Amino acid sequence: MTELAVAFLVSTVAAATPLLLAATGELVVEKVGVLNLGVEGMMLAGAIAGFATANETGVTTLGVLAALLAGTALALLFALVSLTLQANQTATGLALTIFGRGFSALLGAGYVGIPAPTLPKLHIPFLTDIPVLGPVVFGHDILVYLSFAILGVVAWCIRSTHLGLILRAVGDSHDAAHALGYAVVPIRYGAVAFGGALAGLAGAYMSLAYTPLWAQDMTAGRGWVAVALVTFAAWRPLWLLIGAWFFGALMYLSLYVQALGVAVPSALLSALPYIGTVVVLVLISRDRRLIRLHRPAMLGRPFQARA
Amino acid sequence: MLKIEARGYESKFWRYAAPILALVLTGATSGLIFAAMGRPPGLTVYTFLVTPLLQQDGFQALAVKAAPLIMMGVGLSLAYRANVWNIGTDGQFTLGAICGGGIALAFPDAPSRALFPAIVAGGFIGGMINGGLVAWLRIRFNANEILTSLMFAYICQYLLVYLVTGPWRDPEGFGFPQTALFSDTALAPRLIEDSNVHIGVLLAPLIAIAVWVMLEKSLLGFQFRVLGQATRAARFAGFSENRLVWVAMLISGGLAGLAGVLEATGTLGQLTTTLSPGYGFTAIIVAFLGRLNPIGVIPAGLLLALTYLGGDAAQINLGLPNAVTGIFQGILLFYLLGCDILLLNRIRWVLNKPKAA
């Protein structure tokens, strides 16, 4: 029974990590008033860039770096079209997702079905060997801890720093922020690039740690779940953790129940996380006050500086 | 340096020239990408955009591929005008095919005169159920339709996999994940004998014209146009936004369902686990390339259909993965959206002159 519980907790944390990374990035993007729906595309680009680089060089760290760069590059493309050329953000984000899927499938055509070096799991003498607590708390790979650290820094930064105040000002009233002398568009560029880097990292986690393989469309909608998580958390960073773990658990359960041979068809179980997303979105969104209180007021609105 | 300057009015010229500029830029950019991959850029673009049409029955294949894209694109052009971001037409397409295909499988012996209309109605209603659910969740619970419609696309896909590998699997199909072939009476009537050209090819432009007339000539259409361009004015005028959300989701969902059932009964003749090769996202590009105008969606649908055929041709003739289609489509949408800045702005080369004292 304890073994089962340990496996459940360990797998939940692993399944939650790409969601948490991508959602943390998207939260920062939305905080400055930009809606980037290209998370899925950036994750896929990160996944293939990380996988291919790790495969060619044999160094996972380089793979992770390549994924960061790939996610950032795609995010800057989005920023160019939606912030500089002021195209509709929703449509531009969709273009990014379409482009990222095609781009990753093309690059990845030669990498299907071959293994890559995997991110090693941490093993701290004594600590990792503690029964139950050891593997659950101290037995993950480095990206898992990094995702917690990034979330913590982002939460602290948004809440208690000068930078966080500027970010929130840009997201809540870009005209006021502009009038105060803050460079709205460059700040948004920065946030979008940060979001892209984290989405790329989430992709690298998928292809180098979670399922260390490349498969076309391997993120399977996780980028969209990450976008939904930001709404679920009502733009409050620490709630992302709860949401990510909830979906991580759902994803693990849908696999686990299949492995148990329970007589529920596997295809229907696979739909569980997506059904869960709809249910959770509905439960949160119906509280209009909560949404209105926390939603960045300029979310999705274009900004044009007037002299 | 380059400077973006507001025109103060909408340029008529760029209204039509911007999509063409976007197409030219897309061709040039994909050529560069192919060159970077070590492929001859000219030949690749030629294989992509011209070769499919030179093949025997190339234009028939194009029309068959374009029909679902036009139907879905027409629905989306309506929805996007009302700021209803339905991006899950793949799910509505799939649920339409499931509902229509279910009727086809349940009544294999029914006479065609009754069966085919029932199948088509089933497909349309299937798509409407999916779209209506999204509309209801947005109106009743304030749930973002972008996310819910896309989640339903995944859910419908898994439902399809479940049905085709489970209860609906063909018992004589050697275990392949597919249903039995539909009976002849369930198949979509052909416009040209012994070809793939089914009735959807005729329906798609008719639907586009009908929706265009509705948009241009009816009060409902007027409301759609006002809501898209001036949301506040629409509210002051007392137009019900909720009603437009319902209409937009039901029509765009229903048309996607219709496209799905015609694909199943017209092209495939059975249900399999992969019905839509990404039509849902492609239809979004079709709608934008057509300038959210149902008539404009017709040539846009033909062009995007060509990119599917071109992807196949590039795979067969040049050994390129057909994912190239996705790259081409993504770049096209980027350029389309980016070039629209020329509608209201001009881009000028401004010299950094020292300011006169």
How close, in Å, is residue B199 to chain A by CA atoms?
A: 30
Residue B93: its pLDDT value, please? 97
CA distance, residue B40 to nearest chain A CA (Å):
17
Separation between Cα atoms, residue B325 and residue B315, nearest integer Å = 10
pLDDT at residue number B353: 57
What is the per-residue pLDDT for B178?
A: 87
Whether residue B81 lies inside any domain: the answer is yes
Residue B82 is predicted with a pLDDT of 87
In a domain, B3, yes or no: no
**How much is the pLDDT for B357?**
44
Which of A37, A94, A286 should we substitute to test contact with B (largest number of B Cβ atoms within 10 Å)?
A: A94
Determine contact, residues A26/A226, Cβ cutoff 8 Å: yes
CA A147 to chain centre: 10
Say if the Cβ atoms of B281 and A87 lie within 8 Å. no
pLDDT tens per residue, range A131-149 = 777 777 777 888 899 999 9
Q: What is the mean pLDDT of chain A?
A: 88
ipTM of the complex: 0.87
CB contact under 8 A, A281 and B148: yes
Residues of A in contact with B284 (CB under 8 A): 91, 94, 98
**Residue B354 dihedral angles phi and psi, to the nearest 5°:** -65, 140
For range A233-261, the mean pLDDT = 86
Cα B251 to Cα B211: distance, rounded to the nearest angstrom: 10
- For chain A, the domains span 2-294
Q: How confident is the model at residue A261 (pLDDT cuts 50, 70, 90)?
A: low
CB contact under 8 A, B338 and A81: yes
Per DSSP, B293 falls in state: -
Nearest to B284 among A94, A96, A220 (CB): A94
Residues of A with CB below 8 A from B130's CB?
Answer: none
Type of residue numbered A185 = V
Secondary structure letter of residue A141 according to DSSP: B
| Confidence at residue B231, expressed as pLDDT on a 0 to 100 scale | 74
User: B325: which residues sit within 8 A by CB, 6+ positions away?
Assistant: A102, B307, B308, B310, B311
Angstrom CA distances, B37 to A103, B32, B44, B320, stand at 12, 9, 11, 10
- Output phi, psi for B83, to 5 deg: 55, 35
Range of the domain at B126: 11-349
Q: What is the fold of A2-294?
A: ABC transporter involved in vitamin B12 uptake, BtuC (1.10.3470)
Is residue B187 assigned to a domain? yes
Q: Give the separation between CA B238 and CA B261, rounded to whole angstroms.
A: 37
| Å between B85 CA and nearest CA of chain A | 8
CATH code of the domain in which B317 resides: 1.10.3470
Per-residue pLDDT of A15-60, as tens digits, reads 999 999 999 999 999 999 999 999 999 999 999 999 999 988 988 8
Burial B126-163 (b: 16+ CB within 10 A, else e): bbbbbbbbbbebbbebbbbbbbbbbbbbbbbbbbbbbb
Across the interface, of A87, A100, A231, the residue whose CB is closest to B337 is: A87
Give the nearest chain B residue to A276 (CA atoms): B151
Residue B49 covered by a domain: yes
Specify if B1 maps to a domain. no
Is the model more confident about A262 or about A117?
Answer: A117
Number of domains in chain B: 1
Distance from C-alpha of A98 to C-alpha of A88, rounded to nearest angstrom: 16
Q: How large a percentage of chain A has pLDDT more than 90? A: 49
> Which of A203, A252, A179 shows the shortest CA–CA distance to A65?
A203
Do B281 and A98 count as a contact with CB atoms less than 8 A apart? yes
Question: Looking at residue B352, what is its pLDDT?
Answer: 64
Provide block-wise average pLDDT over 10 residues at a time, chain B (357 residues): 76 84 89 84 85 86 94 95 91 96 89 87 96 95 92 94 89 83 86 85 95 91 81 78 92 97 92 89 91 93 91 84 82 89 79 56
Closest to A85 (Cβ–Cβ): which among B150, B288, B341?
B341
What residues of B are in contact with residue A52 (Cβ under 8 Å)? none
pLDDT digit string, tens, across residues A150-207: 999 999 999 999 999 999 999 999 988 998 989 999 999 999 999 999 999 999 999 9
pTM for this model (two decimals): 0.90
Chain A residue nearest residue B80, CA to CA? A91
- pLDDT for the residue numbered B236: 80
Residue A307 has pLDDT above 60, yes or no: no
Q: Decide if B334 and A106 are in contact by the 8 Å CB cutoff.
A: no
Q: Which residues of chain A make contact with B159, given a CB cutoff of 8 A?
A: 267-268, 271
